[in-house]
Amino acid sequence: MGSPQVAGYNTRPVKPYKGAAAPLPTLLLKLMWFKNLQLYRLAPDWHITPGQLEEQLANLLFQPCGSLVMQSIGWVPPRREDKSLVYSQDRHWLLALCSEQKLLPASVVNQFTQDRLDAIEEQQGYRPGRKQAQQLKEQVTEELLPRAFTRRRTTYVWLDTLNGWLAVNAGSANQADDVVSALHKTLENFSLRPLVTQTSPAAAMTAWLAGGEAPAGFTIERECELCAPDEEKATIRYARHTLDAAEIPQHIAAGKRATRLALTWDDRIAFVLTDKTQVKRLQFLDVLQEAAQAQADAGGDNFFSDFALMSAEFSRFLPDLVQALGGELTPDGVPG
């Protein structure tokens, strides 16, 4: 890999960008490069064109929350300059799901309700019953909703329709579940399953740490988390620390398993792999930054070139990751 290593470990921190505080190139701000990957597999028999997908997504267009609506969710154009709900480059497609939520803390509702209850008690001489109190709380909520602030979030979805990949740029499983739920609600004859590998990520990461060697094409970086399998879930975390220390094999021998591990793939992508097969904190390293900057300097459609570059990297990275985890396990239990 070209960096100093000890017993298969990388002894230097990952530097995602040149310079101590180098800013992201402007083009990276126009297309939010994925920072996380929640990975799924498309059904082999799911065949659809971008135009057909567009028509089906249009059945759940995003609408901002009305005055009495607490939450709204729907599809928006992934590229703001366009009206299309599907951005496509051959086999690679990009979707965007927007959600908006009213921020109305329960403590605020409770306080307003309590003030009303106190006023009623003082007026009529006795405390309102439970049913009346609940009705009053609902009334207060309706009165406060139009005045509540809103929070809006857009979650991007990448599809590789040739190789059957779907990845959600979400930092949590709940956020990814919202996207999957919207897809099932919107699309006809659509099925999706999470990626499952022959070797669980926890078992694979534990073996890599115990043996002091990463799989081919990968480098172990300076962060990991070890967790005991018992009810107490005793956890040890290493951050910005070389992982060739003698105590790590000792923790593993005592029964702890790796639940998070920082890795670099091909000196191009740095990331953290979790025991849930989640890829987190994606960083595109210098070689990709330079390629992206060169395309920006050459002019043209930056969104097009950014998406093409990111898609090409994912199409190479994901098969290597699956191979490092022993290959894919299909729904019928047969290796993929």
Domain total of the chain:
3
In DSSP terms, 274 is beta-bridged to: 260
pLDDT at 28: 40
Contact 269, 16 (CB under 8 A): no
Residue 313 lies in a domain: yes
pLDDT at 136: 83
Domain finish residue from 156, 190, 224? 190
> In this structure, are 90 and 139 located in the same domain?
no
Task: Locate 144 and state its tokens.
Answer: 């406060």
> In this structure, are 100 and 110 located in the same domain?
no
Domain finish residue from 114, 147, 180? 147
pLDDT at 204: 97
Cα 328 to Cα 123, 258, 322, distances in angstroms: 69, 20, 6
Domain finish residue from 190, 211, 243? 190
> In this structure, are 89 and 181 located in the same domain?
yes
DSSP result, 146-180: GGSEEEEEEEEEEEETTTTEEEE--SSHHHHHHHH
> In this structure, are 185 and 62 located in the same domain?
yes
Residue 30 lies in a domain: no
Quick one: residue 51, left, alpha or beta (phi over 0 = left, psi -120 to 50 = alpha)?
Answer: alpha
Residue 23 lies in a domain: no
pLDDT at 300: 66
Residue 73 lies in a domain: yes
Burial of 10 (0-12, 13-18, 19+ CB in 10 A): buried
Task: Locate 227 and state its tokens.
Answer: 């967790």
Residue 242 lies in a domain: yes
Q: Determine the straight-line distance between the first and last CA of the chain, rounded to whole angstroms.
A: 29
The whole model's pTM is what?
0.79
Residue 329 lies in a domain: no
> In this structure, are 133 and 169 located in the same domain?
no
pLDDT at 103: 78
pLDDT at 196: 96
pLDDT at 166: 98
Q: Which domain holds residue 285?
A: 5-14+200-324
Residue 157 lies in a domain: yes
> In this structure, are 134 and 158 located in the same domain?
no
Residue 183's SS3 state is helix
pLDDT at 137: 85
> In this structure, are 9 and 49 located in the same domain?
no
Hey, how many other C-beta atoms are within 10 angstroms of the C-beta on 185? Answer: 11
Residue 258 lies in a domain: yes
> In this structure, are 139 and 152 located in the same domain?
no
Task: Locate 235 and state its tokens.
Answer: 């956890």
> In this structure, are 208 and 253 located in the same domain?
yes
> In this structure, are 98 and 85 located in the same domain?
yes
> In this structure, are 69 and 88 located in the same domain?
yes
> In this structure, are 50 and 170 located in the same domain?
yes
Splitting the chain (336 residues) into consecutive groups of 10 residues, what average pLDDT does each group show?
Answer: 39 37 38 88 94 96 84 92 92 96 81 84 84 84 76 94 97 95 95 96 95 92 90 83 76 91 95 97 83 70 87 96 94 64
